[in-house]
Amino acid sequence: MKFATLFILSLAVILVNCGHTFMGTNVQKQLLYRTTAKYSANMFTKRIEYMNYTMPNLPAYLGRYIQGFLAYDMTNTGASCNVTGGGVGMNFLHLRMKSDRGKPLNYEIFIYS
């Protein structure tokens, strides 16, 4: 009985493995930027793409910085998204997105200030 329960739980964990990335907060924060990063699959290889965002140098944005961001994996595969520069507390954000082998890459990206 214990083995069957453990097997079902491990199967559930494997089925919901996806690469959502969330840092900071979005509670009562203004949405600065929203984009969809959608790329087709490369056969037999992992697709790697980069997304760079810098806050505009306008008077309305002076003294503001990124307080949170969400990179939501729309494909629910083994894709991953990593911060390579900037991020929370900075005025720029650099993301590296990597798809699963032979799978498309599709992320919804939200940046809050």
pLDDT tens digit string along 70-81? 999 998 888 999
- Average pLDDT across the chain, whole number: 86
In a domain, 5, yes or no: no
In a domain, 27, yes or no: yes
In a domain, 1, yes or no: no
In a domain, 10, yes or no: no
- Residue 3 pLDDT level (bands cut at 50, 70, 90): low
In a domain, 28, yes or no: yes
Number of domains forming the structure of the chain: 1
Provide the residue range defining the domain that includes 96: 18-112
Q: Examine the pLDDT at 33 and tell me if it is beyond 80.
A: yes
- Residue 21 pLDDT level (bands cut at 50, 70, 90): confident
The pTM score is 0.79
Higher pLDDT, residue 20 or 84: 84
- Which pLDDT score, from 0 to 100, does residue 4 have? 54
- Which pLDDT score, from 0 to 100, does residue 12 have? 44
Give the whole-angstrom CA distance, residue 28 versus residue 36: 22
